[in-house]
Structure formats: structure tokens, C-alpha cells
Amino acid sequence: MNQAAAVSADIDWPLAIHRELSAAAVRQVAYVPDAGHARLIQLCHGDAAMRAVSLTTEEEGVAMLAGAWLGGQRGALLMQSSGVGNCVNMLSLTRTCGFPLLTLVTMRGEWGEFNPWQVPMGQASEAVLKLCGATVYRLERPERAGETIAAAARLAFNSSVHVVVLIAQAMIGSKSFKD
């Protein structure tokens, strides 16, 4: 395990995120399976008050959560930074229709990346999301997980805007071809 992952392991930041999603009355969680979100996904599946739905592509989550909002429920979308590019067209839906979208993105192409294919979208994700009209927060320290998610959820759900939390690769740890 690398040093950053060891520090993150000392603080159960996925549990802190789950607690804040629950406190924000998030009832639907859409996700594309991702190792960086694995523990959070597990917690959401184990929560009787939440419905966790596995997607085939990230843009499906935008549509699903628009429907959840129209149906009176709050939701969150979990993805990896490589999925940001898949959502660009669908993200216009949040601005045009004025519904909240809380998105948590585990970053790739940053600290310790081994896969050159992950670098371009990882490096462009924040700028792309901002160009799509999202407010972007970065989560770089495990001890700030709860407060960062709480602030993002508050802004998204109280203002009906798209808020994204980018979870730094240094927090989730770098991968290798052996992982």
C-alpha cells in the first residue's frame, strides 16, 4: 500500500461521506463500478434508506437523478474522472432544467498514476466540469470528507445546481497493472 493510501486508511472517509449523504436525505445513488468508490458503494447498498443503482455509463446517472428529483427524491452520482467526458452532453440537462446534481468523482491521472490513458481526462476533468456550469470542490484530505460533502450537498440541493466533489487520487491511492 502506498503512503497516501495508508494515511487515508486511518480515516474512514467513505463512511464520513456516507453519513453526510444520509444526513442530506440522499435516497438514490447512481454509480459506475469503481475501486475508488468501492467502500462507499458498499455502504450505500447496505443502507435500507438508499437505493444504489449500478449504471453501464455515467450519463445514465444524470438522467436517472433528474427523474429522482422530479419524483421528489435526492440523489448522488458516483464516477471516476474518466467518466466525466462521457457526461458532457447530458450535463446540459442540469442547467437547462434547473435540478440539483451532486456528483462525487474519484480522480485518476494525478498523483502516482501508472496508466497514461487516464492522464488526459484526469487533467481536464475540473476544467470540463466548470465549463459545463458545475461548481467544483476538491477533496484532498480524508479528515475533510464529511464537511466537504455536507457543503456540496447543501449548495446542490438548496440552490438546484450541479456541484461536483473531486476526490484526489492521493486519497484513494494509486493503482498498478498488478492491482
Residue range 48-102, pLDDT digits in tens: 999 999 999 999 999 999 999 999 999 999 999 999 999 999 999 998 999 999 9
Choose the CATH number for 3-172 among 3.30.1540.10, 3.40.30.10, 3.40.50.1370, 3.40.50.970.
3.40.50.970
pLDDT of residue 83: 93
Domain positions in the chain are: 3-172
Query: What's the rounded Cα separation, in Å, for the pair 115 and 127?
Result: 21
pTM confidence score: 0.91
25: left (phi over 0), alpha (psi -120 to 50) or beta: left
First to last CA, the chain: 11
pLDDT of residue 10: 76
Residue 77's H or E segment, with its range, is strand 74-80
Please tell me which residue, 14 or 113, carries the higher pLDDT value: 14
Segment 170-179 shows an average pLDDT of 70
Query: What's the rounded Cα separation, in Å, for the pair 86 and 60?
Result: 10
Query: What's the rounded Cα separation, in Å, for the pair 175 and 34?
Result: 12
| Whether residue 3 has pLDDT greater than 90 | no
Segment 18-33 shows an average pLDDT of 98
Please tell me which residue, 174 or 19, carries the higher pLDDT value: 19
pLDDT of residue 119: 82
Residues 78, 26: contact at Cβ < 8 Å? no
Cell numbers for 134, please give them: 458545475
Query: What's the rounded Cα separation, in Å, for the pair 172 and 179?
Result: 13
Q: What is the pLDDT of residues 131-161, one digit of tens each?
A: 999 999 999 999 999 999 999 999 999 999 9
The residue assigned the cell 481526462 is 121
Residue 4: which pLDDT band, with cuts at 50, 70 and 90?
A: very low
